[in-house]
Chains A and B, each alone.
Chain A
Amino acid sequence: MSTAPTANFLPEFERVAAHLPGDARVTERRRAALARFATSGFPSQRDEAWRYTSTAGLARRQHSVAIDAQISLERARAALAAAGAWNGPQCVFVDGIHRADLSGAVAAAGLRIRPLAAAVAEDGRIDERFAGWGAGECSPMIALNAAFAADGVVIDIADGAKHTDPLRLLFVMTADVRGRAVFPRVIVSVGQGSGLIMVEQYVGESAADGFTNTVTQIHAGEGAQVTHYRLQDESPKAYHVGNLIVSQERGSEVVSHSLSFGALMARQDIHVMLRGPESSVTLNGLYMAEGRQHVDHHTRIDHFEPGTRSEEYYKGILGGHGRGVFNGKVVVHPHAIKTDAQQSNRNLLLSKDAEIDTKPELEIYADDVKCAHGATVGQLDEDALFYLRSRGLEESAARALLTYAFAGDVLGRLGIPRLREDLAARIAGRLPGAAEFLEAV
């Protein structure tokens, strides 16, 4: 009999279950989610959605689920500094556990932010919102998160409250324990006509080899406006699996940016459900892989109602033996007439060993819709490269400048200037020869 690959998560659950937040009822839900995970185990490459991305590295290792965050204040501060300065409100998590001492108070009218552990303890209904996402037909990765989620954050925005000061959620992975496994859960509910700008940022100490498996749920109420940034820059040894689930009511507008630079293996699933008429979503993305990095974006947008719009704009830069995957699924349901769905995925290969698999998947069951998609894979323009060198630029600088230019329009879409600058520096930092032109900038 073959058993599904579950690594050591079943015994780990018995070890940590008593320390996870929630009453007996929540624990039962966690067990159900664990059972769901145990049935299928980590997805295999026979599974179409995981065809290009192997979970073998995850299935092989000994994981150590984090239930507390012991890191010293100095170390935490060093990690925070590496993540880039932040003057606005923020919540800091170390190994997935909320650290009030690092976070600072967040207060604004109509805005309620609670660490998940506290929220689950005080509000009996919260478990519906998170553990509920672990049973049934959900992916094994989401089930695993539901079983183990030790902390995270619950953000509730009252109707009509516009919160324009960007809120950062910063997740720091430490190198304390080998095979650290963390399962943050972020639950966001934005009320009718409300607004939220939020940044989810994942970083790690340089030797951190942990596994982050995170789930973010965003509910955008009628006419709500949500801008969401997700910056993944974990250590190059880390494993990162992220799930973003967005559900939108009538006339709501969501923009979500996924910027993926770090981790040895990074997988980002984004599932948007346009449940209300005239709701719209924009998904922007930039991913980079070098060395032996692997980065996979799987997006799925369901157009359920008439007049819904989606736009996807993803770019990838792959060097070394880096490998990228992009799969963009768009489903236009029978009722969703006058849907407008645009998708673009452009990739730049910087070396002959770099690889990209890109695939649009359109399923259209409605008439009178406008759907377009385009995917390109290219290299740096040799004529442009020569032109720059003929003006005196070092070859590496010329390559860096052209690569940076390729990423430029995605950066241009970021609405927070300091984030844009931080990302520009992160991109340039990964391009040898960038120092020469950065000086010029």
Chain B
Amino acid sequence: MTMLSIRNLHAAVEGKPILKGLNLEVRAGEVHAIMGPNGSGKSTLAHVLSGRDAYEVTEGSILFEGKDLLAMSPEERAREGVFLAFQYPVEIPGVNNVYMLKAALNAVRRHRGEAPLDAVDFLKLIKEKAMLVQMDERFLSRAVNEGFSGGEKKRNEILQMAVLEPKLALLDETDSGLDIDALRVVANGVNQLRRSDRAIVMITHYQRLLEHIVPDFVHVLAGGRIVKSGGRDLAVTLEERGYDWLKDEAA
């Protein structure tokens, strides 16, 4: 079943066109990797999908499980099951990690018609999930991302994902800044989430991540469009040859 269907997507930031006719189909159960040069619009795509209003969609459509995603607020998208692991997670002083997660989880549960978790069940759940990403419990009671190292922030994103159990996970360079062990832990967390009714779209610059999380498809985003799609091998080719040859091919 098609989970995400992006058709002819055009998006601009501050009047400057970034995405210029992007098409992408993602079915439940699939893992897609998006690669591409710096500034080509990968994070823009992720932000458009999660509903950041600074990014203006000027043309095209996005359907999520057949529903018009663009008509939804960011929180509605989250509750419907779209999750973005940010390339640059935000520090929020004064807001406790656990409080935020509990508010988020209960908002999602309420939306699904499930009863909110009480404090005891929630703590049990979160401790379990923290173990999954090997995150020290001390981080749970700290302010969201405040003073976290780059790698700790990324781990925290995966923890949130594990707690919220989205249908569609967008990982924007979650591997950047991770040491080798952390990469394995994070990849392991993502792999545990892989299920036939979930899809994962991961943006990355390194094919190393794809050794841990093996994608079904690899796409190259350049100049605001998907210019090439292929299987796992494409990433290996890109690692060897870079992106220049694609320009020749496109021409």
Contacts and interface: CB of A to CB of B under 8 A. Distances in A.
A390 B84 contact: yes
A159 interface: no
B92 interface: yes
Contact of B103 (A387, A401, A402, A406): A401
Contacts of A271: none
B100 A439 contact: no
Contacts of B51: 389-390
Contacts of B36: none
Given A401-B103, A436-B103, A439-B106, A394 B75 contact: yes
Nearest to A406: B94
Interface string A367-405: 000000000000001011011111111110110011011
Contacts of B225: none
A391 B79 CA distance: 8
5 contacts: A389-B74, A390-B50, A393-B103, A394-B107, A401-B99
A387 B90 contact: yes
Contact of A437 (B73, B99, B116): B99
Nearest to A387: B90
A391 B78 contact: yes
Interface string B82-119: 01101001111111000111111111100100001000
Nearest to A394: B75
Contact of B75 (A393, A405, A408, A440): A393
B92 A392 contact: no
Contacts of B78: 389-392
B94 A390 contact: no
Residue of B75, B91, B101, B103 contacting most chain A CB atoms (<10 Å)? B103
A349 B201 CA distance: 38
Interface of A: 381, 383-384, 386-395, 397-398, 401-402, 404-406, 408-409, 436-437, 439-441
B107 A392 contact: yes
Given A391-B78, A392-B111, A395-B75, A402 B95 contact: yes
B104 A392 contact: yes
Given A392-B75, A392-B111, A395-B73, A441 B99 contact: yes
Interface string B47-61: 000111000000000
A389 B75 contact: yes
A393 B109 CA distance: 12
Given A392-B164, A394-B75, A440-B103, A387 B108 contact: no
Nearest to A397: B103
The 5 A-B pairs with the shortest beta carbon distances in the complex, nearest first, are A405-B94, A440-B103, A392-B78, A391-B104, A392-B107
A384 B52 CA distance: 12
Contacts of B74: 386, 389-390
Given A386-B90, A390-B51, 7 more contacts: A381-B90, A390-B83, A391-B164, A392-B75, A393-B107, A409-B94, A440-B102
B174 interface: no
B132 to A, nearest CB: 18
A356 B86 CA distance: 34
B160 interface: yes
Main secondary structure of the interface of B (DSSP, over half): helix
Nearest to A408: B94
A440 B164 contact: no
Number of chain B interface residues as a range: 35 or more
Interface string B105-140: 111100100001000000000000000000000000
A440 B106 contact: yes
A437 B98 CA distance: 11
A388 B79 contact: no
Contacts of B86: 387
A317 to B, nearest CB: 13
A391 B106 contact: no
Contacts of A398: 75
Contacts of B75: 389-390, 392-395, 398
Residue of B51, B90, B105 contacting most chain A CB atoms (<10 Å)? B90
Contacts of A393: 75, 100, 103-104, 107
A196 to B, nearest CB: 31
A392 B116 contact: no
A434 to B, nearest CB: 11
Nearest to B47: A386
A398 B100 CA distance: 9
B144 to A, nearest CB: 8
Nearest to B78: A392
Contact of A392 (B52, B79, B95): B79
Nearest to B92: A384
B164 A387 contact: no
Nearest to B163: A391
Contacts of A408: 94
A239 to B, nearest CB: 33
Contacts of A381: 90, 92
A384 B107 CA distance: 18
A405 B92 contact: yes
A391 B107 CA distance: 9
A425 to B, nearest CB: 15
Nearest to A388: B100
Contacts of B94: 402, 404-406, 408-409
